[in-house]
Amino acid sequence: MKINNIGTSGMNPYKRQMNKIDQTSKNAASASDKIEISSAAKEMQQASSTTQARQAKIDDLKIQIENGNYKPNPKDIAKSIVSYYTKH
């Protein structure tokens, strides 16, 4: 019994799939994403940065938490959560 090559003239179909994968990875490697931030966006970032007083308060809270001295008031937290969600 004789079996003739039909179709791809003896090329391994798995090799063909690997060639496609290699080509797409080469194309993906050559293309790169770029991000450009406008000057207006940079100004907005600087304007929204924390003030010195706020940063001092944050640093003080961090120190209290690290030392174990920070005791949050659960009632105040609950009130602020409720007021936040009732406003929105």
Token pair of 84 as six digits: 């936040």
pLDDT per position in the chain (88 positions), as tens? 666 666 555 566 677 777 777 777 666 555 677 888 888 888 877 776 667 778 889 999 999 999 999 999 999 999 999 999 998 7
- Please give the structure tokens belonging to residue 45: 């970032």
For residue 59 the two structure tokens come to: 């640093």
Say what the pTM is: 0.36
Q: What are phi and psi of 10, to 5 degrees?
A: 85, 5
Of the candidates 40, 61, 39, the one whose C-alpha atom is nearest the C-alpha of residue 50 is: 61
CA distances (Å), origin 27, targets 13, 22, 80: 22, 9, 52
